[in-house]
Amino acid sequence: MDIGLGQTTWLSCPATDYEDDFEEYNPLALDDQETRNEKVRSSVTLVNQDPPTACSPDITAAIAEAATELGLSTKHMVSRAYHDSTFMSRIAPTAMIFVPCKNGWSHRPDEFASVRDIENDVRDIDGARRDRVVQAIRDSVTAIADKRKVRSSVTLVNQDPPTACSPDITAAIAEAATELGLSTKHMVSRAYHDSTFMSRIAPTAMIFVPCKNGWSHRPDEFASVRDIENGVAVLALTMAKLSGGTWPSDRSEL
C-alpha cells in the first residue's frame, strides 16, 4: 500500500459564473484556515497463492474478482462511513499485471494475469479520520485476500506532511481582490502543488482563476482572458501590499 499525505492550500480566486476548479474534486468549501487536508495514496498487489507454470482462466478470474471486490468495498466504505473523505480508486490493468512463464514474468496482453495491482488515493481534511479509512482498507485487503485465497502485499511509498497556507498572505489576496471589485472564496486544494514543498522554506499561498465548467489539467481546459487578467492583477496588488510598495492608479499601467 503506497501512502502519501497531501496538503491544505487556501485559495482566493475571482468569482465568475464558472464552477470552481476544485469543487469537482470535493464539493467542500471552508473558511476555517486552520483546517488541514491530508492525502493517502495506496497500492495493493494481489498475487495467486501458488503461481502455476501456465495460468488458467480460473486463477485469472480469482485475481480479477479479488481486485474488483477490493475496489468496490473500499469505495463503499469511504462513501458510507467517512462521507467527508474524497476517495479515488483505480485498477491498473496493464502497468502492473504480470504472469509467470517459463523465462520469468511476461507483459504480454494475451496471457492470463496472476498478479493484479490496485492504487487507492484517500484525501481528507481530518488526519485522524483519514487514518481510519487507511486502516479499514488494510483490513479489507487482508480479509479479501484470505477469502479469495490470494496473497496480498501493502507497501508505504511516501508520506508528505500537509501544508497550511499563510493567513497573512491569504488575507492580502482577499483584500487585493476586494479592492479590484472581485469576489473570493477560501477553499481546500486537494491536489499536490509546489507550495507543499515551498512552504517549508517560506510563507506560501496560492491564487486560482476560474476555469470553464470547473475543468482543469485537461486538453479542453479554458480560462477567459479577462479572468487571467484579473488573476494577474490580484497577484500584482498582493505583492505590492506584502512588500509595502505602491499600486498604480491606472490599471492599464500593470
Q: Alpha-carbon distance 103 to 100, whole Å? A: 8
As given in the structure block, the three cell numbers for residue 179 are 479592492
**N- to C-terminal Cα distance for the chain?**
49
pLDDT per residue, tens digit, the chain (254 aa), is 222 323 333 333 333 332 333 333 333 332 333 334 555 555 556 565 555 444 555 556 666 666 666 666 666 655 554 444 444 444 333 322 222 333 334 445 445 456 666 777 676 667 777 777 778 878 877 887 888 777 888 776 666 667 788 999 999 999 999 999 999 988 887 777 788 788 889 999 999 999 999 888 889 999 999 999 999 999 999 999 999 876 665 655 55
Q: Alpha-carbon distance 114 to 117, whole Å? A: 10
- pTM value is 0.57
Q: Tell me how crowded residue 18 is: count the other CB atoms within 10 A of its CB.
A: 18
Same fold, 38-154 and 167-253: no
CA distances from 9 to 25, 143, 167, 196, 228 (A): 14, 36, 11, 8, 20
Taking Cα atoms as reference points, which of 110, 84, 90 lies closest to residue 99?
Answer: 110
The pLDDT assigned to 239 comes to: 93
Q: Tell me how crowded residue 79 is: count the other CB atoms within 10 A of its CB.
A: 11
Pairing of strands 104-106, 99-101: antiparallel
Say which CATH topology domain 167-253 has. Answer: DNA polymerase; domain 1 (1.10.150)
Say which CATH topology domain 38-154 has. Answer: Alpha-Beta Plaits (3.30.70)
Q: Alpha-carbon distance 202 to 200, whole Å? A: 6
Q: HSE on the CB side for 214, CA within 13 Å?
A: 9
As given in the structure block, the three cell numbers for residue 245 are 510598495
The pLDDT assigned to 223 comes to: 94
Tell me the domain boundaries of the chain.
Answer: 38-154, 167-253
Burial zone of 101 (CB within 10 Å; 0-12 exposed, 13-18 middle, 19+ buried): middle
The pLDDT assigned to 31 comes to: 32
The pLDDT assigned to 160 comes to: 67
In which region does residue 9 sit, left (phi positive, over 0), alpha (psi from -120 to 50) or beta (all else)?
Answer: beta
